[in-house]
Amino acid sequence: MRKRLYRVLVALIGALMVLLVGAPVAAQATETPPPDATAIQVTLQDEASKDAEGNPKPIPGVTLQVSKDGKKAGEGVTDEKGVATIVVEELGKYTVTLDEKTLPKGTVLDENTKNEATVQVRFQGPNNRAIFPIGVAAGEQSSFAKDLAQNLRAGIVFALVLCLAGLGFSLIFGTTGLSNFAHGELLTFGAVMAWTFDQIFKTGGLATVSVILAGIVAVALGGLGGYVQDKVLWGPLRRRGTGLIAMMIVSIGLSIFLRYIFQYFYTSSTRSLSQYSGQQREQHWYYLGLSFADREGIIVLISLVTITTVCLWLAKSRMGKAMRAVSDNPALAASSGLRVDGVITNAWVIGGALTALAGVLYALTLQVNAFMGMRILLVIFAAVTLGGLGTIWGSLVGSLVIGLVYELGPLFGVPTSIKEVGPLLIMIVILLVRPQGILGRKERLG
């Protein structure tokens, strides 16, 4: 009974994921009663033609062949719900081939979609899916209002992730002046650590809180990573009097180095964190007309609490004040007896931890990938420069704007595949027109 409930839950969460993240995924498992055998499931739906309730039309009678290492491993035909379940014998990597000749007349696969999909069968049971988008491109233009709500939601979540990463960046930039090109990798680090520990915990007795524990460990490791970086690399460079530009180039080297180390150990494939098994079910919270799922609600909550705490800490605590003093004028801070080096180390630790947290949360909304940090590095840059480099409030406001632009851009004509363009253009314009950002102060000359 429990097992069955779990399966339904997983299927439900999967379906919600699609709705929530707004990713144009067409084929999706529904509530087909699953046999216990391990299987690959394919659901074929035509997103372009929907019925009265807005559900896409299923496509029955399509033949699918499954092969492993070039050998045939199974075959299936979609039923009247468009679902085909093809039993396979063992876990592993399979190729699912869709026989395009068996598609009904007038139905074609989307452009850029191959009739082959590779499936990593990782779970026992039928929850291994192959996806063949059909009519998604056409279906996308369906409802602007619905898309707006969806993208707005995704935008807010992404903005908060950016906020955390940007805060980390600003702390480090403020105290050291370093434009750290390896910042994206700090975010990736958080994500891959969360994934690793999730894998470890979920097999043990801690399965119910696996993701939460893994997240905490990842954040701690992020802080530790910041500390180690400062002690081993940046601190010695500072003491040698290495210039900022030289350090920036060093950070590029570090970025490439770390990125491929991650890829070395985690390959270039994409993984997801295990589900929140602790939740009874994924509910929606309605707020200002937006529905947030538990998962997103938790992301929003965690980030808001963290951001508030960090801001209060910067404003009130001794170390926070010292940090702001160093950001403001390192020479003056040093001459008034502050231990600048200690403050910078602190900034690295907290910056590293915040960025790792951003990585964990980002991994929850999306998936874990060795390149995830690099992809949004320039978006983080855009967020912090928009608000004003090195200013805390600036990076918060900047992140919010950029996060929304990033997710809403596609609704206003920015092609989805290149939605980074919006933030980048904003950043370029800001740097040209008002390099100190919308909230920054103009630098004093002479």
Q: How far apart are CA 177 and CA 189, in angstroms?
A: 22
* DSSP secondary structure code for residue 143 in this structure: -
Question: Which position among 1, 33, 239, 264 is part of the footprint of other proteins (CB under 8 A)?
Answer: 264
Cα–Cα distances in angstroms (integers) from residue 164 to residues 15, 185, 233, 342, 423, in the given order: 28, 14, 23, 22, 17
* DSSP secondary structure code for residue 54 in this structure: S
Q: Measured from the CB atom, is 50 or 419 closer to other proteins?
A: 419
Which position has the token pair 């314009």?
429
Question: Which position among 216, 252, 302, 411 is part of the footprint of other proteins (CB under 8 A)?
Answer: 252
Whether 24 contacts 39, CB under 8 Å: no
Residue 379 C-beta: closest distance to other proteins, Å = 10
Question: Which position among 75, 140, 147, 420 is part of the footprint of other proteins (CB under 8 A)?
Answer: 420
Is 432 near other proteins (CB under 8 A)? yes
Secondary structure of 25-46 as H, E, C letters: CCCCCCCCCCCCCCEEEEECEE
Beta bridge partner(s), residue 250: none
145, 41, 165: which is closest to 94 by C-alpha?
41
The 10 Å Cβ neighbour count of residue 296 is 25
Whether 151 contacts 410, CB under 8 Å: yes
Residue 101 C-beta: closest distance to other proteins, Å = 26
Residue 137 C-beta: closest distance to other proteins, Å = 9
DSSP string, 244-263: HHHHHHHHHHHHHHHHHHHH
Question: Which position among 172, 250, 323, 325 is part of the footprint of other proteins (CB under 8 A)?
Answer: 250
Question: Which position among 10, 12, 212, 248 is part of the footprint of other proteins (CB under 8 A)?
Answer: 248
Question: Which position among 237, 302, 319, 338 is part of the footprint of other proteins (CB under 8 A)?
Answer: 237
Question: Which position among 77, 91, 138, 249 is part of the footprint of other proteins (CB under 8 A)?
Answer: 249
Considering all CA atoms of the chain, what is the largest pairwise distance in Å, rounded to the nearest integer?
Answer: 79
* DSSP secondary structure code for residue 317 in this structure: S
DSSP string, 399-432: HHHHHHHHHHGGGGT--GGGTTHHHHHHHHHHHH
Is 406 near other proteins (CB under 8 A)? no
Residue 340 C-beta: closest distance to other proteins, Å = 11
Residue 177 C-beta: closest distance to other proteins, Å = 8
Is 421 near other proteins (CB under 8 A)? yes
Question: Which position among 108, 246, 301, 305 is part of the footprint of other proteins (CB under 8 A)?
Answer: 246
Q: How far apart are CA 158 and CA 169, in angstroms?
A: 16
Residue 446 C-beta: closest distance to other proteins, Å = 5
Which span (85-93, 139-147, 258-266, 278-286) binds other proteins, by CB under 8 A?
Answer: 258-266
Question: Which position among 263, 270, 279, 365 is part of the footprint of other proteins (CB under 8 A)?
Answer: 263
Q: Which residues bind other proteins (CB under 8 A)?
A: 179, 237, 241-246, 248-250, 252-261, 263-264, 267, 329-331, 335, 378, 381-382, 385, 415, 417-418, 420-421, 424-425, 427-428, 431-432, 435, 441, 444-446
